[in-house]
Chain A
Amino acid sequence: MKITLTVNGSRRELEVDDRRLLADVLREELGLTGTKVGCAHGVCGSCTVHVDGRAVRSCLTLAVQADGRAVRTVEDLAAPDGTLHPLQQAFSEEHALQCGFCTPGFLMTALPAADAGVPLDEERARELVSGNLCRCTGYDGIVGAVVRASAICAGAAPAADAEAQR
């Protein structure tokens, strides 16, 4: 099927098999290998991307389901000049990654809350990332990074929205 995806702001027209997973299309047809496939049944969260602004599992999304939609992946977080998003910066500063495989998925999961400018406490941050699995870090660094980044973004950002107010 011919589909059109707007990926990280760029309009892409693709011909894909109806059964191809969005994760595979992003990684292979579009070369955006930052998104990982960790389980292909929606539990680990490594494949998390944004579709129309909402964090979803790209392993549980057929590419054709995203036709006409905007998709955002981890490659879009840093600025064109390489400046890291506060969330990426916080992950490094808080040692929130070791092998790095789960990291893109965590970043995309935490991103809406960070961008919404609502500071999160430890408990809310821990709950926010509870849908993503990490086997290396024991989660403290990740929770700390989300708390830190949300505070930084809150300092700089205007009003919050519903997504982050849960």
Chain B
Amino acid sequence: MSAVEEAREEQAAPGLIGARVRRREDGRMVTGAARYVADVELPRCCEAAFVRSAVAHARIAAVDVEAARAAPGVLAVLTAADLAAVRPLADMLEVESIKTPRPPLAADRVRYVGEPVAVVIAEDRYAAEDAAELVAVDYDELEPVLDVEAAIAGAPLLHDHVPDNVYFRTQFRSGGTDEAFAAADLVVSRALHVNRQLASSMETRGVVAQADPDGLLTVWLSSQAPFQQRYLLALALGLPESRIRVVVPDVGGAFGPKDFVFPEDLCVAHAALTLGRPVRWIEDRQENLMAGSHAKEQKLHVELAFAADGRLLAMRGRFVGDTGAFAYSGPAGLVDVMFSAQSLPGPYVVPAYDYDVLGVLTSKTPVAPYRGVGITAAQTARELLLDEAAERLGIDRVELRRRNLLGDEPATSITGQEYDGGSYATSLERALERIDWAGFPARQAAARAEGRHLGIGVSPFVEGTSLGTLAQLQSGFPMPSHDHAWATVDLTGTVAVGVPTCSHGQGHATAFAQVAAEVLGVGVDDVRVVERDTEASPWGMGTYASRSAVFGGGAVLKAARLLRERILAVASLLLEAPPEALVLEGGFAGIAGVPEARIPLAGIAGAAHFDPGVRAALGESGLRVSVFHDSPPAYSNGCIAVEVEVDAELGTVRLLRTVAVEDCGTMLNPTIVEGQVRGGLVQGIGAALLEHAVYDDAGQPLTTTYMDYLVPRSTDVSAIEVDHLVSPSPRTLGGMKGMAEGSSIAAPAAVLNAVADALSPYGFRVERLPLGPHAVWEGLRAAGTA
């Protein structure tokens, strides 16, 4: 029996794990009672507004804050000199890159428009902004660095210790690549400049800090990783971790960038410590689009080599990341290009592969991971090239993919990623079936007869998930990465589980409750999930990189099973029956088949607390268990298919049908999984057609409002049909795989290939991203037909 089939056999009988339980979070959210960081009310709280660089690259000659300090309602105006005791933000990873620590406020130099230069603390935000306008900064402008090639080729250095503005360089040679290319019957290549994107969660960043008289600094952060952030704050502020508490209230979306500590957080924390009043900063949308983290931009060049029968012989890739002005955090700067390079093979068999990766600094806002990171760019390039190769080889483009797809068994990619098996071929076939791929040629022909242009595209994907120690190593970012969980039963018989994750829309309070409830035989509503408070929840890395189902779910599973053993041990003593004869059901521990012989969990807990005999038998930690969990990576897979109509005159693209097939192994809550698939998919459509953070030649950002940075609306997308396959991971506890980035990874390629298909009579090629109407029109002109 194959490893994957064995895993399927072991899958738990259907219970609460895998059930479509309605979310418990919804009640407070639909009534306006959810509390996000901007809703945290503290007496005497004052507000910060930042003075930000108006130029892209300059020496700071002087900062005059006198007028601002005297303005009404102002409590303080801080510059870099006032924050000399705060250490710059530094990297936690052992990555071979040149570090560029990020100061809380720019001291002698600014390197991107929007970089914080000073901060005003005032009674309210209105007064703070008034005063911020009075701060006068004298800039000696320097030439900005706005293009990675120019940056490498002798543009001004952004950091004096980073030669050529290249802070990271690596390469990979599998062996045999040159020979494979030389022997190939067809080589296709594509250069793409991936559009700079913005995660743009509906809630911007925000921080509230309060120093209490005992010396505890409490920091409310809209965040993805409270423990990582507590540590970084401690390092920067020079405080022991034990004096810092990070509380994450409800978070209005994150998608990656809220995984870090930012200069603004340091300034606010410092102000709270020194002013003796709580301080808050709520990022406004302009700040968010301009100076919140950017993402994704890279220039890549990919080549694929084929035999005449369509076999993929080899790949080559060069990936150059446009990181922005600071690479203070390895993952932040390198996730795009490193993950592109590593994931180019995707769900296909690739015998040979060479890649080169560069991380380059530019006079732009620094980047951070954003859903899908660089896997999206690799997926896009590869799938565009597969369609091109199919056309040039005269092979059907689905058939070409079939010939190269991996089998279902676990396999290791040419870049060392250990896939744990999946449903690569099945998910492709399912997507084709759902979108009626077979019937499309007739639909397309009928439309063409009416002068309308329909197109269809397909994009099978693999999604690396569950970043733990091993996955971090395999992806080139060594970082011991693990989590903890705890579980206990209280005296009233309810269960509490502490989880190491940091939900920001993913429904952990429900999904993890389902896991614990199933194992412990209680209702979902009898499980409280404790998360996002460094005082109360267990140490963990947080929620990012699609890791929570495996790490959070796995840790809860582990803890719940351990707690179950303890409960049964107590019940065994009390009921005088061996544990194997006992069941947990409906909030009771009882002897199977003997309805009268049962004890409620409250009774179990009571005995564990107060019965000396039971206490002695249970040992030191009683009915509270604590577990450590580190998991190998798990690889989800799936396939997106999209049908579009293109208005060839105006260049607009309308999505007619969208299908997503998702295989993330054991699902905790299919409704939550589907929601993630849909949300990611729409972000992918934005990446393909709408979203672009643009700078002009002077380094001024042009897309600093929602008028210009275009996030998809409901009318920009079609309804999305989601279908599931289940290939439990043979490697993770519970068989879960992470998910939620796959659809954002694969959707752009599906849409772009569909547009190219619609315009294939004109020889249209996707060269520009995003593919807005103007880009489509230019593409048609380039092909000679607009």
Contacts and interface: CB of A to CB of B under 8 A. Distances in A.
A89 to B, nearest CB: 8
A33 interface: yes
Contacts of A13: none
Interface string A99-111: 1111110010000
Given A33-B35, A74-B31, A95-B675, A138 B22 contact: no
A95 B671 contact: yes
A38 B507 contact: no
Interface in B31-55: 31-36, 38-39, 41
A93 interface: yes
B201 A135 contact: yes
Interface string B244-277: 0000001111010000000000000000000000
B25 A95 contact: no
A107 B36 CA distance: 18
Nearest to B713: A130
Interface stretch (B156-164, B358-366, B704-712, B751-759): B704-712
Contacts of B396: none
B124 to A, nearest CB: 8
B713 A40 contact: no
Given A75-B32, A99-B203, A143 B255 contact: no
Nearest to B41: A31
Contacts of B201: 99, 101, 135-136
Interface in A126-143: 126-127, 129-143
Given A92-B22, A137-B675, A138-B682, A84 B203 contact: no
B536 interface: no
Nearest to A85: B30
Interface stretch (A41-49, A50-58, A155-163): A41-49
Contacts, number: 164
Nearest to B685: A138
B26 interface: yes
Given A95-B672, A101-B203, A33 B32 contact: yes
Contact of A73 (B23, B32, B682, B711): B32
B678 A40 contact: no
Contacts of A46: 202
A150 interface: no
Contact of B32 (A35, A38, A130): A35
Interface residues of B, number: 56
B31 A36 contact: no
Contacts of A36: 36, 38, 202-203, 252
Given A101-B252, A143-B719, A137 B202 contact: no
Contacts of A32: 32
A30 interface: no
Nearest to B711: A133
Contacts of A104: 32
B317 to A, nearest CB: 30
A157 B715 CA distance: 28
Contact of B30 (A88, A126, A143): A88
Contact of B31 (A34, A93, A129, A142): A34
A100 B222 CA distance: 14
A65 interface: no
A97 interface: yes
A39 B706 contact: yes
Contacts of B711: 133, 135
Most-contacted residue by chain A among B251, B506, B706, B713 (CB, 10 A): B713
Interface string A60-93: 0000000000000111011000001000100111
B31 A39 contact: no
Contacts of B202: 36, 38, 44, 46, 99, 101-102, 133-136
Nearest to A143: B714
A88 B26 CA distance: 9
B200 interface: yes
Contact of B23 (A19, A92, A102, A142): A92
Contact of B706 (A41, A103, A134, A142): A41
Given A41-B707, A135-B679, A139-B682, 5 more contacts: A44-B202, A101-B201, A134-B202, A137-B675, A139-B717
6 contacts: A43-B706, A92-B22, A101-B253, A126-B714, A136-B202, A136-B253
